[in-house]
Structures are given as C-alpha cells and as structure tokens.
Chain A
Amino acid sequence: MTRALHAEWTKLRTVPGPLWLLLGAVAATVALSAGAASVVRCTSAGCGGDLTGVSLVGVRLGQAPVAVLAVLVITGEYGSGMIRTTLTAVPRRAAVLAAKAVILTGAVAVTGTVAVLGSLLAGRAILPGAGGDLTDGAVAGPVLHLVLIALLGLGIATAVRDSATGIGIVLGLLYVVPLLSLAVGDPHWQRVLRRIAPMSAGLGPPLSPWAGLGATAGWAAAALLAGGLLLCGRDA
C-alpha cells in the first residue's frame, strides 16, 4: 500500500496539470468570494444573510477545478493507456483506487484550506468589522465539502472511464440538481431534494458549516463503491 501511495503521489506531483488545477481552484474560490463580498449591500442593520456564507460563495466555482482534477486522476490513465501499467504494477485494484483517494484527499484538503482561509480573509478585508469569523466550522465545513466533491468525482470517473463524461456527470450533480429543487413546486419534495442534493449546502441558506455534508458524503461513498466494484470486476 505504501508503494501504491508513493506511486500515486509521484504521478500527481510530476505532471503540471494537477498543480495548475489546484492553483486555479484557489484563485477561483478567492476571486468569486471577494466579488460576492464586494456586491453585497450593507445597511446599518447588517449585510443581509450570513457573512461567512457571503465570504464562501467562491466554493461554488472552486469546486469545478477540484472535480476536474479528481476526474483526471483516473481517466487520464485510461486516456493514455497508463492504467494497464498501473494495474500490472499493483494488481490489487482496490489498493490503486484507495491510494488515489488518499493522495487526492490530501492534496484537496491542503488546497481547500488555503482557498477557504483566503476567501474568509478577503471577505473580512472587503467588509471590515462584519467579516466572517474564522471558526473551525466555517473553515472545516467547506474544506470537507471540497474533499467530498473530489472523492465523488473520483468514484464517478472510475465508473465511466471517460474524462468528459465523468466531469459532465459531476457538474450535473453539483449544478443542476439544486436547480431542480427550485423547479419542483411541492415544498415537501423541495425539502427532500435539497437534503439529498450533493451541493444542498450551497443553495437556499448560505453554505453552513455542517449542514448538507452528510448527503455529500453519502454521494461520495456510493460513487467510490460503484467505481471500486466496476474497477475490480471489469477488464481494463
């Protein structure tokens, strides 16, 4: 397992793509968060809504490059045929997927922390005195969200083995399912959809630290399980 981890870390480290995607995720998150903080109208009564939420709007954009990275971690190998070498070197396929998941989690957790802290600090600078507080929940919630989105992307990409299709499905889950809950008229179904949507924490009430992460974790676990089973059962 250590060798598999080392191999995956080397693969991630030695091509320029992942680094650019992670830097892009930080830049996108901080830029959009700062943009959101600068357009919010402030009155004497307050700035409308949860300020931590305002400072973290950028996570909605930053999760896109994170998802791309997660999808490419596996589909890149299918595209180039590298996957056969990988599976020859590490015949235990579950170990390959687990190693990819661990390395991805580490990379996204570090990047996500930088991005989220940057967003909160930017929000504080733009909205002085009212900026989001740096509580554990305000930072850890969105970072965990990004990690879970990465694992969701990895699982789906392992199942479909194509980068464009994989990212299409992930983005569909992230951006389209919340819109569906707006189109559904019945309040009961709206609540159900919001609860099960992988980005439910992102719509309606501003990103709250822990709400909705359970649903996202469920999606990520299901996707990883499906991807793992297919990887183990299928010819590469």
Chain B
Amino acid sequence: MTAGFARVLHAEWTKFTTVRAWVTGTVTAALMLVLFALLAGISSDQKGSPPVPTGPGGEPVADSFYFVHRPLTGNGSITVSVSALDSSIPEGPGELRPGTVPWAKAGLIIRRSTRQGSPYAAIMTTGSHGVRMQDSYVNDTAGPPGPASARSVRRLRLDRAGDTITGYTSADGTHWTTVGTTHVSGLGPTPQAGLFVASPPVADGMGTAGTVSTSVFGDLRVRGAGGRWTGDQVGAGSPSFAGYPAGRSGSYTESDGLFTVTGAGDIAPAVRDTLPAGGTLGDILTGTFAALVAVIVVGALFVTTEYRTNLIRTTLAAAPKRTHVLMAKAIVLGGVTFAAGLTGTLVAGPLGEHLARANGVYIFPVTSSTGLRVALGTAALLATASVLALSAGTILRHGAGAVTAVTVAVVLPYLLTVIPFVPASTANRLTRVTPAAAFAVQQTLVPHHQVTGNYTPYNGYWPLPPWAGFAVLAGYTAVSLSAAAVLLRRRDA
C-alpha cells in the first residue's frame, strides 16, 4: 500500500466516523439484529410441549411407527416376506384415497428398545424407492428397486452378530443378496426385533398431510427371539409425529401366519416439515433484513452525500486517482459494516436461542463451525450489500435511487419466495440468480434425500451452498463496483 492510498484511506475513515448519521445507521443495523432476535425469542411460548426425540448423534429425528416386536437375546436372525404395501393419502377434509407414498416403509427392524431415538438397523420395502437398508436415522443404503406386491413378493432378512447387523433381500427365497452391513453400537443386552410399518406425510401445498399405510407380511421366521409378539405405536405423542389421518389408527392382526400391520409416521432425520413449530438460527436472525436496509442507506449516503454537498470536488482534487477514492470508500465501509454485523450476529444468535429455548421452543442444533459460518456469513452479506449500495450510489449519484435499487434487488426476491402460490421451482430459481442467493449463508438445516419435504428458501433450505450463494452477491457487487470505477473516472464530477 502506497503512502498516497493510506492517506486516502485515512481521509475516508475520518469522514465516516465523524458523520453522526452514518455511525448511527451502522449501529442501528447491529441493534436491529439483536432487537429482532429478542422479539423472535420472547414471542413464542411452547412451554410444556413434549421433548423432540434425538438420535445417537444428537440430531432431531422422527421416530414414530407401528412395531410388532419381541425381545432378541444374543445373536439371531429374523426373516419375512412382504406381499403388499398399500398407502392412503388424504384428499379433502376427512377423505382418504389410495395412493403412493414414496417413502412409506414396511420391513424388519432391530432396535435397543421402543423408546424414541433408540439405535437401530432396519431393512424395508418402500413405496417407490425399492428395498432399502437404513440405520441410525441418517444412513440409507439402496437395494434392488421395485415395490412389493402379491406378484413380486419381497423377502427380507436381518442377521445380528454382536454389534454387526446385516440385511439381505431375495426375490425367490433361495438366492439372497446382501443389501448392507452396519455396526450399531448401544443395542443393549435385549434389543427388540420385529415387523414395522411407517408412512411419512406427503407434501401438500406449502405444508404436508399425514398418510397411513398397511402391509401384509408372511413366512415370519425368527432365530434367537422368544416370547409373544406385542404390537405398539412407538412415539405416539411425539412432536415429530403428525399423527394418523382422522378415523385411522395403528394396528396388527395375525391369521394363518399372515401379519397385517397398519402404521403411520417415519423413522428418519427430522426436517423442517417434521417439526413445523421448531426454529432455526436463520429465523432468529430475521433482523438481517432490517439491518440490510440500514447498511444500504449508509452505503449509498457515503458517496451520494458528497455529490449533494459538492464535497466530491474537494475529495477528487485532493486525491486525483479516482479509483483509489472508490476503493478506500469500499474498504472503510465494508470493514465497518462487517464489524458491526459480526458484533450484532454474535450477540443476537446466542441471545435469541437462549430466550427461545427458555420458552420451550425447539431450535434445530448447529455445530460450532456452522454457527461461526452463519455469523461470518451474515456479517459478510451485510458488508457486501453496503458496498453494492456504495457502487450503485456512485453510478446513480442519487441516494433514493441507489437505496431502492439495491433493497429491491436483495430483499424482494426473497419476499416473492414466501408468497404461497409461487412454485418451489421458481422460488429456487429466484434465490439462485438474484443477490438474495446470499441468504444461503444462514442455512443451518440439512436436506435428506430419504425424507419428503418442502426444501424451499422459505423453509430454510437454499438452492445453493452457503458460500456459493454469497458468491452470487459478491459477483453482482464486483461488477457494479467496476462499473462505478469506470464511470467515476470518465465522468465529470
């Protein structure tokens, strides 16, 4: 850095810190983050709601299904054939029609107990994803495709040897193929083994609707398990269970060695649709939108005020290298905004989470590295948006125009994605190509291919990875800053 540029930088720093409105605006941005986090934290009261079940990794899970089980001591195996998996989908209030639930599950499971969140391994046929082997809620291995029916009976087998569970499938009962082998720790001395049926909700408009499925099992053979079969609805009152459609319930009947089992729910990681009352770190940081408007105003004013008061002539006379002036302004503005944004986010995030948890609201957990990414990303988002406003102000030389252009470009696309009738594909496209893509830095939820859900920006799932989304905004800012530099050099001030 040359001494000349250092002087320009110092001049811009002095201008910024001595204009009270700009400092106030930047502090307001940080306060908005904290204020909105406070509001989000105290505005919801879910005290006394049942706890959200968590899996072995601490992640929230759905663990509700109908379970026909008996204890399995020591090693052993369980074999069954599935000849039907029929699902019903709600159609209008109180009406059900037959339909396909892609991730309806019927099969065999070995798990520590009937408590929600128990370690398990399972092999199953599904509505339209073929045979799968799943364990520990998040792991999913694909087996042969195709649904189970009377004409193509699916045979399934689970073998347990210590902590090792192996799943097999066969079409004819003689040739068995291995679907997967997994190590499940914490199965305990007497795990429960048996048949299960689960039927997760299907996407319905902006929300989901509960379904129910019935499966027919035959040829049940068990080695190592004793006692009577018991039928239980696991996780009946769980917050991650939408319940049965009106008038239906879980059950099982046995006659002539055929088990008919009806169930609803899912054994899977919880997504936003599973826990609609839950909150995310991104929800707590809604103040980002208000902070954005504040930093956009400050960014635009940082240059347009010079044009209005004609200070720009003095500035350019003192520093004839005009690009240096713009760079210095961008560095000072970006740096100050980043610091304010980071301070605001680091206070707002933990504060809002603490208040929400104290009110009984479930907040989706984040690792410390994800939390740090959200904080740094939000600060970078605010800083970059303010520099975008600075360059728009330089191009337009007009405060109101610059503020409107940048606010509309960043906030309106997001606002359009929350309109109920905008299709998810349009919402995803809007948040991929517009500067609003940068809000992806606040995503803390993880989509799971084995769970049907509305993976939309409104629900906290962004089409681009966090830093790629940020790069879209950074790209717009880089282009706009270059255009501003060219115009500033060419035009008469």
A168-B296, A176-B293, A185-B277 in contact; A72/B411 too (CB < 8 A)? no
A68 to B405 CA separation, bound complex (whole angstroms): 10
B388-420 vs A, Cβ < 8 Å mask (1 yes, 0 no): 000000000011111110011001101110111
Which partner residue on chain A sits nearest B402 by CB separation?
A: A164
User: Which A residues touch B398, using CB under 8 A?
Assistant: 163
A75 to B283 CA separation, bound complex (whole angstroms): 35
Determine if B293 and A172 form an interchain contact, defined as CB atoms under 8 angstroms apart: yes
B36 within 8 A of A: yes
Cross-chain contact of A180 among B39, B421, B426 (Cβ < 8 A): B39
A171 to B403 CA separation, bound complex (whole angstroms): 9
User: Which B residues touch A75, using CB under 8 A?
Assistant: 400
B308 within 8 A of A: yes
User: Which A residues touch B301, using CB under 8 A?
Assistant: 162, 164-165
> Which B341-398 residues have a C-beta within 8 angstroms of A?
356, 361, 398
Determine if A175 and B44 form an interchain contact, defined as CB atoms under 8 angstroms apart: no
B486 within 8 A of A: no
**Does more than half of chain B's interface fall in helix, strand or loop, or is it mixed?**
helix
> Which B14-43 residues have a C-beta within 8 angstroms of A?
21, 25, 36, 39-40, 43
Determine if B421 and A54 form an interchain contact, defined as CB atoms under 8 angstroms apart: yes
* A2-10, A57-65, A104-112, A131-139 - interface stretch: A57-65
| Distance of B95 from chain A, by nearest CB (Å) | 14
Cross-chain contact of A183 among B36, B399, B414, B426 (Cβ < 8 A): B36
Determine if A184 and B39 form an interchain contact, defined as CB atoms under 8 angstroms apart: yes
Determine if B21 and A171 form an interchain contact, defined as CB atoms under 8 angstroms apart: no
**Residue of A68, A180, A189 most packed against chain B (CB within 10 A):** A180
B303-321 vs A, Cβ < 8 Å mask (1 yes, 0 no): 0100010000000000000
Give how many A-B residue pairs fall within 8 Å (CB-CB). Answer: 128
Interface residues on B, range: 35 or more
A182 to B206 CA separation, bound complex (whole angstroms): 14
Cross-chain contact of B45 among A53, A64, A179, A186 (Cβ < 8 A): A186
User: Which A residues touch B9, using CB under 8 A?
Assistant: none
Cross-chain contact of A172 among B44, B290, B361 (Cβ < 8 A): B290
User: Which A residues touch B420, using CB under 8 A?
Assistant: 48-49, 204, 206
> Which B160-176 residues have a C-beta within 8 angstroms of A?
none
A49 to B206 CA separation, bound complex (whole angstroms): 12
A68-B401, A175-B415 in contact; A168/B293 too (CB < 8 A)? yes
Cross-chain contact of B289 among A79, A175, A186 (Cβ < 8 A): A175
A162 to B277 CA separation, bound complex (whole angstroms): 42
Determine if A61 and B408 form an interchain contact, defined as CB atoms under 8 angstroms apart: yes
A110-121 vs B, Cβ < 8 Å mask (1 yes, 0 no): 000000000000
A15 within 8 A of B: no
Determine if A60 and B412 form an interchain contact, defined as CB atoms under 8 angstroms apart: yes
User: Which B residues touch A61, using CB under 8 A?
Assistant: 408, 412
Which partner residue on chain B sits nearest A54 by CB separation?
A: B421
**Does more than half of chain A's interface fall in helix, strand or loop, or is it mixed?**
helix
A36 to B416 CA separation, bound complex (whole angstroms): 9
Cross-chain contact of B411 among A68, A175, A184, A204 (Cβ < 8 A): A175
A175-B415, A179-B289 in contact; A164/B421 too (CB < 8 A)? no
A75 to B304 CA separation, bound complex (whole angstroms): 13
User: Which B residues touch A49, using CB under 8 A?
Assistant: 420-421
| Distance of A177 from chain B, by nearest CB (Å) | 9
| Distance of B398 from chain A, by nearest CB (Å) | 8
A67 within 8 A of B: yes
Determine if B400 and A186 form an interchain contact, defined as CB atoms under 8 angstroms apart: no
User: Which B residues touch A167, using CB under 8 A?
Assistant: 297, 399-400, 403-404
Cross-chain contact of A168 among B361, B407, B422, B426 (Cβ < 8 A): B407
User: Which B residues touch A39, using CB under 8 A?
Assistant: 422-423, 426
A176 to B290 CA separation, bound complex (whole angstroms): 6
> Which A23-69 residues have a C-beta within 8 angstroms of B?
36, 39-41, 47-49, 53-54, 57, 60-61, 64-65, 67-68
User: Which A residues touch B60, using CB under 8 A?
Assistant: none
- Which 6 residue pairs of A and B lie closest in terms of their CB atoms, listed nearest first? A185-B44, A164-B399, A183-B286, A168-B297, A49-B421, A163-B400
User: Can you offer 5 A-B residue contacts whose CB atoms are under 8 A?
Assistant: A48-B421, A60-B416, A64-B404, A65-B404, A168-B297
Q: A48-B420, A172-B294 are in contact. List 16 more A-B contacts (CB 8 A).
A: A36-B422, A47-B421, A60-B416, A162-B399, A164-B300, A165-B25, A168-B297, A168-B407, A171-B293, A172-B290, A175-B415, A179-B289, A179-B418, A182-B286, A184-B43, A189-B43
